[in-house]
Amino acid sequence: MSKHLITFLGILLLAFATVSLASAQSDNPPDDPVALGAWLYGGYCQRCHGSYETSVAGRDLQGDELRQAITGEARGCQEKWGITQGGPLKKNEIDALVAFITAWQEAGGPPDLSGATLPTFPSATPELTATPDNFKPTEIPSPTPLVETDPQILAITSANPVALGARLYTRRCYRCHLDYAYGRQGLGLDEEKIRRTIEEGKAGTSMLALGWRNGGNLRSKEVSAIVAYILAWEKLGAEPALPEVLFIPPTPDPEALKMAPLKQVPPVEGRVEKGLALYGEHCQGCHGLGGNGASAPGLRQDWLSVRPDLTIRSTIANGVPGSAMPAWSGQLDEEQINSLVALLLEWSQDSPLVEETSQKTESAPWFLLLLAVLFLPIGWFWFRRAG
């Protein structure tokens, strides 16, 4: 083989390798997590959810909650994307999607991707393409968020979650609860309980749901800030050292001072006879025959609650932490639990059936005394004749 031919082939091979390397590099996903997440969102998520500015995908979710909604470990996307759940995305790719969505939410708009190059995404596989049969867009409320305009307060709260929480508490909570020291609503509660109460509100009270997903105007980051402020207060046992300007309440809005309407929850309806059969199968071993108690408390009692039906249903469905009473929501459906509720309400002290039984029980000694008075002379007379 001539020297010229070898040189030509070498040059040709080098050129081919250079072109292949450049092509491979142009198709490589970006290294930056936020840019990688944007690339993955465009390739996997946009076909169903649309561009992120018009999407509700992951809206107001953060951290592990958002991660699990994407992977399929928790209720979220209809597709399970995590590789451990049978999906195509590895851990770092799930983390990148979380980073992209979180960056968008924190910025209130598209994150800065000016320094990143997003290559063309490979063609989608048919089985990952949503169809009208397997996809329904998620609908969530779109309330107006709280907007802080005071530059002094923005400077204080921008990098301090406790300070942000103090300001949000003053703006959103003070009008009902007054200064936190007055009521200390978080005293004795763990972080999760405080967060859930703020996000979801409390049924049957004027405490509304403040979380974005539940119709309120606080995003997840803002709820976390209020939780951080409350926990900091409880840890110190006093007001955290923060600028006084954070605790100046805004000018009252007359609309905001109106009493919040109570959420109306319809009465629990069930079939007593079905509840009785279920009680014998699942409850009688602990609570005793007829609900009169055994190793567990008796259930023929007054239910001291504004809504006894809801109290009983919650106790059956969720169990009693720290006791032998399990949560039955995983074993009994809603209709079965409601039937048990109807039975226990029937057994309550206000029930005509129980009142009638109680009256009969109370009258029993008088009835026996009457029998004794009647039969005593007869017995004496019979004894005299026999003698």
Q: Is the pLDDT of residue 145 over 80?
A: no
Of the candidates 274, 115, 72, 247, the residue with the CA atom closest to the CA atom of residue 174: 247
DSSP 42: I
Here the tokens at position 230 are 């409350």
* CB contact at 8 A, 156 and 162: no
Confidence of residue 356 (pLDDT cuts 50, 70, 90): very low
Instruction: Give, in order, the Cα–Cα distances in Å from 217 to each of 12, 199, 284.
Output: 64, 10, 46
Confidence of residue 17 (pLDDT cuts 50, 70, 90): very low
Q: Is the pLDDT of residue 21 over 60?
A: no
Question: How does pLDDT run across 183-241, given as a tens digit for each residue?
Answer: 898 988 889 889 989 988 887 677 888 987 777 888 888 999 999 999 999 999 999 99
* pLDDT of 220: 82
* CB contact at 8 A, 181 and 239: yes
Question: How does pLDDT run across 103-138, given as a tens digit for each residue?
Answer: 877 666 778 787 777 777 665 554 444 444 554 544
| Alpha-helical segments (H) within the chain | 3-27, 33-40, 46-49, 63-71, 91-107, 151-157, 161-172, 174-177, 180-183, 191-200, 220-236, 272-278, 284-287, 308-318, 334-347, 352-386
d(CA 322, CA 344): 22
d(CA 22, CA 286): 73
Of the candidates 9, 38, 14, 16, the residue with the CA atom closest to the CA atom of residue 116: 38
* CB contact at 8 A, 29 and 38: no
94 vs 85: which has the higher pLDDT: 94
* pLDDT of 75: 62
* pLDDT of 131: 46
For 198, other C-beta atoms within 10 Å of its C-beta total 27
Question: How does pLDDT run across 54-88, given as a tens digit for each residue?
Answer: 665 666 677 777 888 888 876 667 778 888 888 88
Question: Quick one: average pLDDT of 35-51?
Answer: 83
Instruction: Give, in order, the Cα–Cα distances in Å from 140 to each of 55, 122, 144, 257.
Output: 10, 31, 13, 26
* pLDDT of 164: 94
- For 134, phi and psi rounded to 5 degrees? -120, 10
* pLDDT of 132: 46
Here the tokens at position 69 are 């909604």
* pLDDT of 198: 93
CA 334 to chain centroid: 19
DSSP 88: S
d(CA 323, CA 123): 54
Here the tokens at position 363 are 């009258």
Confidence of residue 363 (pLDDT cuts 50, 70, 90): very low
**Cβ burial, residue 115 (10 Å; 0-12/13-18/19+):** exposed
Q: Is the pLDDT of residue 11 over 70?
A: no
Question: How does pLDDT run across 305-353, given as a tens digit for each residue?
Answer: 788 898 899 899 888 877 889 889 878 999 999 999 999 999 985 444 4
Instruction: Give, in order, the Cα–Cα distances in Å from 373 to each of 135, 234, 260, 308, 310.
Output: 81, 69, 65, 45, 50
Instruction: Give, in order, the Cα–Cα distances in Å from 73 to each of 10, 84, 86, 87.
Output: 53, 9, 11, 11
Residue 266 contacts by C-beta under 8 Å, 6 or more apart in sequence? Answer: none
Question: Quick one: average pLDDT of 1-11?
Answer: 58
d(CA 186, CA 208): 16
**Region at 215 (left for phi over 0; alpha for psi -120 to 50; beta for the rest):** left
